[in-house]
Chain A
Amino acid sequence: AQSVTQPDIHITVSEGASLELRCNYSYGATPYLFWYVQSPGQGLQLLLKYFSGDTLVQGIKGFEAEFKRSQSSFNLRKPSVHWSDAAEYFCAVEAGNMLTFGGGTRLMVKP
């Protein structure tokens, strides 16, 4: 069965600083990989996804993620964080029509 690990439960960055959120997965083959964002009390919004092809994928709101097969990672990055980016971020893996979420990383942005 697949699993997803987000090592950082909380991350605080200053507005304008760069951001990287870590995600590691465990699965026998190449899975479909996703990053979602959740604002308090809200559902999930898809930021980006990787199915195949170019390992660097661009998403909405200036986010990007890089799939590294050798490291079983799919880290999310943003060059300059905005205060509105403060939210909970979930990495997810889909295999066999089942979506498995990581534990989430709460991002806080300092002014």
Chain B
Amino acid sequence: GAVVSQHPSRVICKSGTSVKIECRSLDFQATTMFWYRQFPKQSLMLMATSNEGSKATYEQGVEKDKFLINHASLTLSTLTVTSAHPEDSSFYICSARDPQGSTGELFFGEGSRLTVL
């Protein structure tokens, strides 16, 4: 089945630095990818919808200048957490839908755990 991969799986950074997380669709082209954030022992909250070749659509309450999303190709979307602070520490998960797939299923990456010191 379709596979979505994230990198890195874990990252630790100092407060004030920026961190980039990559989300790749490995065997299909995704015009749309979704970024979620998950706090410990909580559910996934949609942060933004990444659109290839255009600006991302952010959910209410998500700072677009803090969480920069770039979807430069049909297989890659990146989330950059700028000037990270400890409250940005979280588990970030991306997902994508195979437009050629018959089920319309969303495939999820393995997640990236960010720890800001």
Contacts and interface: CB of A to CB of B under 8 A. Distances in A.
Given A103-B42, A103-B43, A104-B42, A44 B105 contact: no
Interface stretch (B13-21, B64-72, B77-85, B106-114): B106-114
Interface string B15-46: 00000000000000000101000000111111
A49 B93 contact: no
A41 B108 CA distance: 13
Given A49-B103, A49-B105, A42 B43 contact: no
Contacts of B103: 49
Interface residues of B, number: 22
A11 interface: no
Interface string A34-45: 001000011111
Contact of B111 (A43, A90, A97): A43
Interface of A is mostly: strand
B43 A41 contact: no
Contact of B44 (A46, A97, A101): A101
Give the bracket for the number of chain A residues in contact with chain B: 20 to 34
**Residue of B6, B43, B110 contacting most chain A CB atoms (<10 Å):** B43
A42 B93 CA distance: 9
Contacts of A99: 34, 46, 95, 106
A98 interface: yes
Nearest to B112: A43
Contact of A43 (B45, B46, B104, B110): B110
B52 to A, nearest CB: 15
A43 B109 CA distance: 6
Contacts of B113: 41
Q: Considering the complex of A and B, which 9 residue pairs feature the smallest CB-CB distances, nearest first?
A: A44-B108, A43-B108, A43-B110, A101-B43, A43-B111, A103-B43, A101-B44, A104-B43, A43-B109
10 contacts: A41-B113, A42-B110, A43-B111, A44-B93, A45-B108, A46-B106, A51-B104, A99-B95, A102-B43, A103-B43
